[in-house]
Structure 1
Protein backbone atom coordinates (compact mmCIF):
# COMPACT_ATOMS: atom_id res chain seq x y z
CA UNK A 1 0.00 0.00 0.00
CA UNK A 2 1.11 3.62 0.29
CA UNK A 3 3.91 4.76 2.60
CA UNK A 4 4.55 8.38 1.54
CA UNK A 5 1.59 10.56 0.49
CA UNK A 6 2.25 13.96 -1.06
CA UNK A 7 -0.46 16.59 -0.76
CA UNK A 8 0.10 20.01 -2.38
CA UNK A 9 -1.68 22.86 -0.58
CA UNK A 10 -2.55 26.45 -1.41
CA UNK A 11 -5.12 27.44 1.23
CA UNK A 12 -8.10 26.92 -1.09
CA UNK A 13 -11.21 24.91 -0.11
CA UNK A 14 -10.28 22.36 -2.80
CA UNK A 15 -6.84 21.84 -1.25
CA UNK A 16 -8.24 21.73 2.29
CA UNK A 17 -10.68 19.06 1.18
CA UNK A 18 -7.80 17.06 -0.34
CA UNK A 19 -5.79 17.38 2.88
CA UNK A 20 -8.63 15.71 4.78
CA UNK A 21 -8.62 12.78 2.36
CA UNK A 22 -4.82 12.49 2.49
CA UNK A 23 -4.66 12.51 6.28
CA UNK A 24 -7.47 9.99 6.70
CA UNK A 25 -5.87 7.68 4.13
CA UNK A 26 -2.46 8.01 5.78
CA UNK A 27 -3.96 7.17 9.18
CA UNK A 28 -5.69 4.11 7.72
CA UNK A 29 -2.60 2.66 6.02
CA UNK A 30 0.16 3.91 8.32
CA UNK A 31 1.68 6.28 5.76
CA UNK A 32 3.53 9.57 6.19
CA UNK A 33 2.17 12.81 4.74
CA UNK A 34 4.37 15.29 2.89
CA UNK A 35 2.70 18.70 2.49
CA UNK A 36 4.04 21.03 -0.19
CA UNK A 37 3.21 24.68 -0.75
CA UNK A 38 4.41 26.02 -4.11
CA UNK A 39 4.82 29.76 -3.80
CA UNK A 40 5.68 30.42 -7.43
CA UNK A 41 8.35 32.88 -8.44
CA UNK A 42 9.31 35.30 -5.66
CA UNK A 43 7.56 38.66 -6.06
CA UNK A 44 9.58 41.87 -5.93
CA UNK A 45 6.58 43.49 -4.26
CA UNK A 46 7.22 43.03 -0.53
CA UNK A 47 3.55 43.15 0.61
CA UNK A 48 2.61 40.59 -2.06
CA UNK A 49 5.53 38.35 -1.14
CA UNK A 50 4.56 38.58 2.54
CA UNK A 51 0.94 37.73 1.78
CA UNK A 52 2.02 34.69 -0.26
CA UNK A 53 4.32 33.55 2.54
CA UNK A 54 1.56 33.98 5.15
CA UNK A 55 -0.89 31.99 3.03
CA UNK A 56 1.60 29.17 2.69
CA UNK A 57 2.38 29.18 6.39
CA UNK A 58 -1.29 28.96 7.33
CA UNK A 59 -1.93 26.18 4.83
CA UNK A 60 1.00 24.11 6.13
CA UNK A 61 0.06 24.74 9.77
CA UNK A 62 -3.39 23.41 8.95
CA UNK A 63 -1.88 20.18 7.59
CA UNK A 64 0.35 19.78 10.64
CA UNK A 65 -2.61 20.26 12.97
CA UNK A 66 -4.82 17.79 11.14
CA UNK A 67 -2.04 15.19 10.90
CA UNK A 68 -1.26 15.52 14.62
CA UNK A 69 -4.91 14.98 15.49
CA UNK A 70 -4.80 11.62 13.67
CA UNK A 71 -1.30 10.58 14.84
CA UNK A 72 0.06 10.85 11.32
CA UNK A 73 3.70 11.74 10.72
CA UNK A 74 3.97 14.86 8.57
CA UNK A 75 6.64 17.11 7.11
CA UNK A 76 6.03 20.43 5.39
CA UNK A 77 7.93 22.25 2.65
CA UNK A 78 7.69 25.58 0.84
CA UNK A 79 9.10 25.65 -2.71
CA UNK A 80 9.21 28.12 -5.58
CA UNK A 81 8.57 27.36 -9.22
CA UNK A 82 5.95 26.33 -11.74
CA UNK A 83 3.42 24.29 -9.71
CA UNK A 84 3.11 21.10 -11.77
CA UNK A 85 6.83 20.67 -12.40
CA UNK A 86 7.71 21.57 -8.80
CA UNK A 87 5.25 18.99 -7.49
CA UNK A 88 6.64 16.38 -9.89
CA UNK A 89 10.21 17.16 -8.77
CA UNK A 90 9.15 16.86 -5.14
CA UNK A 91 7.71 13.40 -5.83
CA UNK A 92 11.24 12.29 -6.71
CA UNK A 93 12.76 14.06 -3.70
CA UNK A 94 10.44 12.47 -1.15
CA UNK A 95 9.97 9.07 -2.77
CA UNK A 96 6.20 9.64 -2.65
CA UNK A 97 4.04 6.79 -3.92
CA UNK A 98 0.76 8.75 -4.10
CA UNK A 99 -0.19 12.36 -4.78
CA UNK A 100 -3.52 13.63 -3.42
CA UNK A 101 -4.62 16.91 -4.98
CA UNK A 102 -7.65 19.13 -4.86
CA UNK A 103 -9.08 20.24 -8.18
CA UNK A 104 -12.04 22.28 -9.37
CA UNK A 105 -14.94 20.70 -11.20
CA UNK A 106 -15.19 23.17 -14.08
CA UNK A 107 -15.40 21.94 -17.66
CA UNK A 108 -15.29 23.31 -21.17
CA UNK A 109 -13.47 26.41 -22.34
CA UNK A 110 -12.65 27.66 -18.85
CA UNK A 111 -10.97 24.38 -17.99
CA UNK A 112 -9.06 24.29 -21.27
CA UNK A 113 -7.82 27.86 -20.88
CA UNK A 114 -6.72 27.48 -17.29
CA UNK A 115 -5.58 23.89 -17.51
CA UNK A 116 -5.42 21.58 -14.52
CA UNK A 117 -2.34 21.30 -12.36
CA UNK A 118 -3.49 17.85 -11.26
CA UNK A 119 -3.71 16.67 -14.87
CA UNK A 120 -0.26 18.04 -15.68
CA UNK A 121 1.21 16.39 -12.60
CA UNK A 122 -0.37 13.12 -13.69
CA UNK A 123 1.48 13.34 -16.99
CA UNK A 124 4.81 14.12 -15.31
CA UNK A 125 4.95 11.43 -12.62
CA UNK A 126 4.82 7.64 -12.68
CA UNK A 127 2.82 7.24 -9.45
CA UNK A 128 -0.95 7.52 -8.95
CA UNK A 129 -2.46 11.00 -8.66
CA UNK A 130 -5.75 11.10 -6.74
CA UNK A 131 -7.77 14.17 -7.76
CA UNK A 132 -10.31 15.26 -5.17
CA UNK A 133 -12.85 17.33 -7.05
CA UNK A 134 -14.77 20.18 -5.49
CA UNK A 135 -16.65 22.15 -8.12
CA UNK A 136 -17.26 25.87 -8.01
CA UNK A 137 -19.93 26.51 -5.39
CA UNK A 138 -20.01 22.89 -4.27
CA UNK A 139 -20.09 22.03 -0.59
CA UNK A 140 -18.25 19.13 1.03
CA UNK A 141 -20.64 19.22 4.01
CA UNK A 142 -24.26 19.33 2.91
CA UNK A 143 -26.27 17.84 5.77
CA UNK A 144 -26.65 18.22 9.55
CA UNK A 145 -25.75 14.54 10.01
CA UNK A 146 -22.45 15.04 8.19
CA UNK A 147 -21.73 18.15 10.27
CA UNK A 148 -22.44 16.20 13.46
CA UNK A 149 -20.15 13.38 12.34
CA UNK A 150 -17.29 15.80 11.69
CA UNK A 151 -17.92 17.57 15.01
CA UNK A 152 -17.90 14.25 16.86
CA UNK A 153 -14.60 13.28 15.24
CA UNK A 154 -13.08 16.65 16.13
CA UNK A 155 -14.18 16.27 19.74
CA UNK A 156 -12.74 12.76 19.93
CA UNK A 157 -9.30 13.72 18.62
CA UNK A 158 -9.13 16.70 20.99
CA UNK A 159 -9.94 14.63 24.09
CA UNK A 160 -13.64 15.45 24.43
CA UNK A 161 -15.12 12.15 23.31
CA UNK A 162 -17.80 12.26 26.05
CA UNK A 163 -19.11 15.69 25.06
CA UNK A 164 -22.81 16.07 24.31
CA UNK A 165 -23.41 17.70 20.96
CA UNK A 166 -26.42 19.73 19.86
CA UNK A 167 -28.08 20.09 16.48
CA UNK A 168 -25.88 21.99 13.99
CA UNK A 169 -26.77 25.46 12.82
CA UNK A 170 -26.04 26.30 9.18
CA UNK A 171 -24.55 29.67 8.34
CA UNK A 172 -23.60 31.01 4.91
CA UNK A 173 -20.23 29.27 4.62
CA UNK A 174 -20.06 27.09 7.71
CA UNK A 175 -21.81 24.78 10.12
CA UNK A 176 -21.59 25.47 13.84
CA UNK A 177 -22.08 22.63 16.31
CA UNK A 178 -22.35 23.40 20.03
CA UNK A 179 -21.09 20.80 22.51
CA UNK A 180 -20.39 20.54 26.22
CA UNK A 181 -18.80 18.22 28.76
CA UNK A 182 -17.42 18.45 32.31
CA UNK A 183 -14.55 20.61 31.07
CA UNK A 184 -16.71 23.29 29.51
CA UNK A 185 -18.58 24.32 26.39
CA UNK A 186 -17.36 24.35 22.79
CA UNK A 187 -18.33 25.46 19.33
CA UNK A 188 -17.06 23.41 16.42
CA UNK A 189 -16.90 25.53 13.27
CA UNK A 190 -16.99 23.43 10.09
CA UNK A 191 -16.15 24.96 6.72
CA UNK A 192 -18.98 23.93 4.39
CA UNK A 193 -16.76 23.83 1.31
CA UNK A 194 -13.73 21.98 2.66
CA UNK A 195 -15.06 20.14 5.73
CA UNK A 196 -12.29 21.66 7.86
CA UNK A 197 -13.26 21.77 11.55
CA UNK A 198 -11.98 24.07 14.27
CA UNK A 199 -12.87 23.76 17.93
CA UNK A 200 -13.37 26.91 20.00
CA UNK A 201 -13.39 26.51 23.80
CA UNK A 202 -16.09 28.79 25.23
CA UNK A 203 -15.24 28.18 28.89
Structure 2
Protein backbone atom coordinates (compact mmCIF):
# COMPACT_ATOMS: atom_id res chain seq x y z
CA UNK A 1 0.00 0.00 0.00
CA UNK A 2 2.37 2.72 1.28
CA UNK A 3 6.04 2.54 2.26
CA UNK A 4 6.99 6.23 2.59
CA UNK A 5 4.56 8.93 3.70
CA UNK A 6 5.58 12.58 3.50
CA UNK A 7 4.03 15.08 5.91
CA UNK A 8 4.87 18.79 5.52
CA UNK A 9 4.51 20.65 8.84
CA UNK A 10 4.46 24.28 9.93
CA UNK A 11 3.61 24.14 13.64
CA UNK A 12 -0.12 24.74 13.22
CA UNK A 13 -2.89 22.59 14.78
CA UNK A 14 -4.11 21.41 11.38
CA UNK A 15 -0.59 20.27 10.46
CA UNK A 16 -0.42 18.39 13.75
CA UNK A 17 -3.69 16.73 12.80
CA UNK A 18 -2.16 15.73 9.47
CA UNK A 19 0.73 14.14 11.37
CA UNK A 20 -1.76 12.17 13.47
CA UNK A 21 -3.53 10.93 10.35
CA UNK A 22 -0.25 10.01 8.66
CA UNK A 23 0.87 8.08 11.73
CA UNK A 24 -2.37 6.10 11.69
CA UNK A 25 -1.87 5.22 8.04
CA UNK A 26 1.78 4.34 8.60
CA UNK A 27 0.86 2.00 11.43
CA UNK A 28 -1.69 0.20 9.28
CA UNK A 29 0.59 -0.04 6.25
CA UNK A 30 3.86 -0.65 8.13
CA UNK A 31 5.24 2.47 6.44
CA UNK A 32 7.76 5.09 7.46
CA UNK A 33 7.05 8.79 8.04
CA UNK A 34 9.06 11.69 6.64
CA UNK A 35 8.24 15.06 8.21
CA UNK A 36 9.36 18.13 6.26
CA UNK A 37 9.49 21.78 7.29
CA UNK A 38 10.17 24.31 4.53
CA UNK A 39 11.67 27.63 5.54
CA UNK A 40 10.08 30.12 3.17
CA UNK A 41 12.31 33.16 3.68
CA UNK A 42 10.89 35.27 0.85
CA UNK A 43 9.48 38.66 1.86
CA UNK A 44 9.79 38.02 5.59
CA UNK A 45 11.24 40.19 8.30
CA UNK A 46 13.98 38.64 10.42
CA UNK A 47 11.78 38.41 13.53
CA UNK A 48 8.92 36.75 11.66
CA UNK A 49 11.32 34.34 9.99
CA UNK A 50 12.84 33.39 13.35
CA UNK A 51 9.43 32.75 14.95
CA UNK A 52 8.26 30.59 12.03
CA UNK A 53 11.54 28.65 11.99
CA UNK A 54 11.34 27.91 15.71
CA UNK A 55 7.71 26.81 15.32
CA UNK A 56 8.58 24.59 12.37
CA UNK A 57 11.51 22.92 14.13
CA UNK A 58 9.36 22.26 17.21
CA UNK A 59 6.75 20.69 14.92
CA UNK A 60 9.41 18.35 13.53
CA UNK A 61 10.47 17.33 17.03
CA UNK A 62 6.83 16.76 17.95
CA UNK A 63 6.36 14.54 14.89
CA UNK A 64 9.48 12.56 15.80
CA UNK A 65 8.32 12.04 19.38
CA UNK A 66 4.87 10.93 18.31
CA UNK A 67 6.26 8.48 15.76
CA UNK A 68 8.72 7.09 18.32
CA UNK A 69 5.87 6.54 20.78
CA UNK A 70 4.13 4.33 18.22
CA UNK A 71 7.30 2.58 17.05
CA UNK A 72 7.02 4.06 13.55
CA UNK A 73 10.25 4.83 11.64
CA UNK A 74 10.57 8.59 11.12
CA UNK A 75 12.91 11.05 9.44
CA UNK A 76 12.73 14.83 9.84
CA UNK A 77 14.11 17.40 7.41
CA UNK A 78 14.42 21.19 7.26
CA UNK A 79 14.67 22.70 3.78
CA UNK A 80 14.67 26.23 2.35
CA UNK A 81 12.88 27.54 -0.70
CA UNK A 82 9.49 27.95 -2.27
CA UNK A 83 7.11 25.64 -0.35
CA UNK A 84 5.39 24.19 -3.43
CA UNK A 85 8.58 23.52 -5.38
CA UNK A 86 10.42 22.20 -2.34
CA UNK A 87 7.66 19.83 -1.26
CA UNK A 88 7.26 18.56 -4.83
CA UNK A 89 11.01 18.04 -5.27
CA UNK A 90 11.31 16.29 -1.92
CA UNK A 91 8.39 14.02 -2.81
CA UNK A 92 10.22 12.91 -5.96
CA UNK A 93 13.62 12.57 -4.26
CA UNK A 94 12.13 10.55 -1.42
CA UNK A 95 10.01 8.48 -3.81
CA UNK A 96 7.11 8.98 -1.42
CA UNK A 97 3.93 7.00 -2.00
CA UNK A 98 1.65 9.58 -0.37
CA UNK A 99 1.71 13.20 0.79
CA UNK A 100 -0.49 14.12 3.75
CA UNK A 101 -1.04 17.86 4.23
CA UNK A 102 -3.13 20.03 6.46
CA UNK A 103 -4.79 23.01 4.80
CA UNK A 104 -5.91 26.21 6.43
CA UNK A 105 -9.20 27.96 5.80
CA UNK A 106 -9.41 31.71 6.16
CA UNK A 107 -6.94 31.75 9.05
CA UNK A 108 -3.24 31.36 8.42
CA UNK A 109 -3.43 32.03 4.68
CA UNK A 110 0.10 33.39 4.69
CA UNK A 111 1.51 30.33 6.41
CA UNK A 112 3.12 27.36 4.69
CA UNK A 113 0.14 25.06 4.47
CA UNK A 114 -2.56 27.28 3.03
CA UNK A 115 -5.01 25.78 0.60
CA UNK A 116 -3.35 27.03 -2.56
CA UNK A 117 -0.03 25.40 -1.58
CA UNK A 118 -1.70 22.01 -1.12
CA UNK A 119 -3.55 22.34 -4.43
CA UNK A 120 -0.40 23.32 -6.31
CA UNK A 121 1.59 20.48 -4.75
CA UNK A 122 -1.15 18.11 -5.89
CA UNK A 123 -0.75 19.33 -9.47
CA UNK A 124 3.03 18.90 -9.46
CA UNK A 125 3.50 15.45 -7.95
CA UNK A 126 2.60 12.08 -9.40
CA UNK A 127 1.49 10.49 -6.10
CA UNK A 128 -1.74 11.02 -4.15
CA UNK A 129 -1.99 14.11 -1.93
CA UNK A 130 -4.34 13.73 1.01
CA UNK A 131 -5.50 17.02 2.54
CA UNK A 132 -7.08 17.61 5.94
CA UNK A 133 -8.70 20.83 6.99
CA UNK A 134 -9.92 22.41 10.20
CA UNK A 135 -12.45 25.16 9.66
CA UNK A 136 -12.76 28.14 11.97
CA UNK A 137 -13.34 26.84 15.50
CA UNK A 138 -13.47 23.22 14.36
CA UNK A 139 -11.93 20.60 16.60
CA UNK A 140 -10.71 17.12 15.78
CA UNK A 141 -11.48 15.93 19.33
CA UNK A 142 -15.08 16.98 19.89
CA UNK A 143 -16.54 14.47 22.34
CA UNK A 144 -15.74 13.19 25.85
CA UNK A 145 -15.61 9.62 24.56
CA UNK A 146 -13.00 10.53 21.97
CA UNK A 147 -10.98 12.36 24.64
CA UNK A 148 -11.11 9.27 26.88
CA UNK A 149 -10.01 7.03 24.00
CA UNK A 150 -7.00 9.23 23.28
CA UNK A 151 -6.17 9.43 27.00
CA UNK A 152 -6.20 5.63 27.36
CA UNK A 153 -3.96 5.22 24.31
CA UNK A 154 -1.50 7.83 25.61
CA UNK A 155 -1.45 6.25 29.07
CA UNK A 156 -0.76 2.82 27.56
CA UNK A 157 2.07 4.24 25.45
CA UNK A 158 3.66 5.80 28.55
CA UNK A 159 3.50 2.63 30.64
CA UNK A 160 0.22 3.22 32.49
CA UNK A 161 -1.92 0.63 30.72
CA UNK A 162 -3.74 -0.24 33.95
CA UNK A 163 -4.86 3.32 34.68
CA UNK A 164 -8.53 4.03 35.33
CA UNK A 165 -9.77 6.96 33.23
CA UNK A 166 -12.41 9.31 34.67
CA UNK A 167 -14.81 11.75 33.00
CA UNK A 168 -13.02 14.48 31.05
CA UNK A 169 -13.59 18.20 31.26
CA UNK A 170 -13.08 20.71 28.45
CA UNK A 171 -11.14 23.90 29.16
CA UNK A 172 -11.09 26.29 26.22
CA UNK A 173 -9.18 24.37 23.51
CA UNK A 174 -7.96 21.55 25.77
CA UNK A 175 -9.53 18.40 27.15
CA UNK A 176 -8.36 17.34 30.62
CA UNK A 177 -8.85 13.66 31.44
CA UNK A 178 -8.16 12.53 35.05
CA UNK A 179 -6.70 9.06 35.56
CA UNK A 180 -5.31 6.96 38.40
CA UNK A 181 -3.25 3.81 38.81
CA UNK A 182 -1.05 2.23 41.48
CA UNK A 183 1.65 4.82 40.82
CA UNK A 184 -0.55 7.85 41.47
CA UNK A 185 -2.88 10.34 39.84
CA UNK A 186 -2.57 11.89 36.39
CA UNK A 187 -4.15 14.46 34.14
CA UNK A 188 -4.01 13.80 30.42
CA UNK A 189 -4.10 17.11 28.54
CA UNK A 190 -5.37 16.78 24.96
CA UNK A 191 -5.25 19.56 22.38
CA UNK A 192 -8.77 19.64 20.97
CA UNK A 193 -7.62 20.76 17.51
CA UNK A 194 -4.72 18.38 16.89
CA UNK A 195 -5.42 15.51 19.30
CA UNK A 196 -1.91 15.79 20.74
CA UNK A 197 -1.81 14.41 24.31
CA UNK A 198 0.51 14.89 27.28
CA UNK A 199 0.43 13.07 30.63
CA UNK A 200 0.98 15.14 33.79
CA UNK A 201 1.80 13.15 36.95
CA UNK A 202 0.03 14.73 39.94
CA UNK A 203 1.66 12.59 42.60
TM-score by length of 2: 0.91
Secondary structure in structure 1 of the residue aligned to 2:187: strand
Partners of 1:92 and 1:30 lie apart in 2 by 21
1:187 corresponds to which residue? 187
> Which segments of 5 or more consecutive residues in structure 2 lack a partner in the other structure?
107-113
1:111 corresponds to which residue? none
**CA contact under 8 A between 2:187 and 2:199: conserved in structure 1?**
yes
1:78 corresponds to which residue? 78
1:38 equivalent to 2:67? Answer no
Partners of 1:122 and 1:46 lie apart in 2 by 30
* Residues 33-63 of structure 1 deviation map (CA, whole Å, 9 limit, x = unaligned): 0000111127885543432221112101110
1:12 corresponds to which residue? 12
Deviation at 1:94, TM superposition (A): 1.1
1:128 corresponds to which residue? 128
1:177 corresponds to which residue? 177
1:27 corresponds to which residue? 27
More displaced stretch, 157-166 vs 47-56: 47-56
**CA contact under 8 A between 2:105 and 2:136: conserved in structure 1?**
yes
Deviation at 1:186, TM superposition (A): 1.4
**CA contact under 8 A between 1:104 and 1:136: conserved in structure 2?**
no
2:110 corresponds to which residue? none
2:90 corresponds to which residue? 90
Secondary structure in structure 1 of the residue aligned to 2:100: strand
TM-score by length of 1: 0.91
Partners of 1:143 and 1:115 lie apart in 2 by 27
2:200 corresponds to which residue? 200
Secondary structure in structure 1 of the residue aligned to 2:96: coil
**CA contact under 8 A between 1:176 and 1:190: conserved in structure 2?**
yes
1:153 corresponds to which residue? 153
**CA contact under 8 A between 1:42 and 1:80: conserved in structure 2?**
no
| Aligned residue-pair number | 196
Deviation at 1:115, TM superposition (A): 4.9
> Which segments of 5 or more consecutive residues in structure 1 lack a partner in the other structure?
107-113
Secondary structure in structure 1 of the residue aligned to 2:126: coil
1:100 equivalent to 2:100? Answer yes
Secondary structure in structure 2 of the residue aligned to 1:123: helix
Deviation at 1:84, TM superposition (A): 1.3
2:61 corresponds to which residue? 61
